[in-house]
């Protein structure tokens, strides 16, 4: 795995979206030695015992981490807007917003 690759660490109770690097990542679940992760699907235990699986984050996982301004469009609203306007594959859309880019990534 290359340095800077986005990785989602999935545990039974917590999840962490990180950029991969060959060092320890400290969490409330204990330190996780990221150098033990070689590919997506690998499992790694934290110092306190919980086991995490390294998976490739989906677009939605990444979108949930966007910085939110005071007027973000939520996924349920974005879906309705897309359905009502008939936007589909091949549609041309102009974005004149000055926000976080959340809707563009949807």
Which mean pLDDT values do the consecutive 10-residue runs of the chain (106 residues) have? Answer: 92 91 92 94 94 92 74 80 87 77 71
pLDDT at 39: 95
Q: What is the DSSP string of 81-99?
A: HHHHHT--TT--------S
Q: What span, in angstroms and rounded, lies between the C-alpha atoms of 57 and 76?
A: 20
pTM comes to: 0.63
Q: Which fold has domain 6-59?
A: Vcp-like ATPase; Chain A, domain 2 (3.10.330)
Q: How far apart are CA 87 and CA 30, in angstroms?
A: 45
44 vs 9: CA distance, rounded Å: 9
**CATH 3.10.330.20 in the chain, residue ranges:** 6-59
The reported pLDDT for the residue numbered 61 is 83
């Amino acid at each position: 795995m290359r340095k800077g690759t986005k990785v989602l660490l999935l545990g039974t109770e917590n999840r962490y979206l990180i950029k991969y690097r060959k060092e320890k990542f400290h969490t409330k679940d204990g330190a996780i030695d990221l150098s033990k992760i070689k590919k997506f699907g690998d499992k790694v235990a934290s110092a306190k015992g919980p086991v995490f699986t390294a998976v490739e984050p989906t677009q939605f996982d990444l979108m949930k981490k966007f910085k939110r301004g005071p007027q973000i469009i939520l996924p349920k609203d974005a879906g309705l807007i897309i359905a009502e306007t008939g936007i589909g594959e091949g549609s041309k859309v102009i974005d004149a917003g000055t926000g976080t880019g959340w809707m563009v990534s949807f």
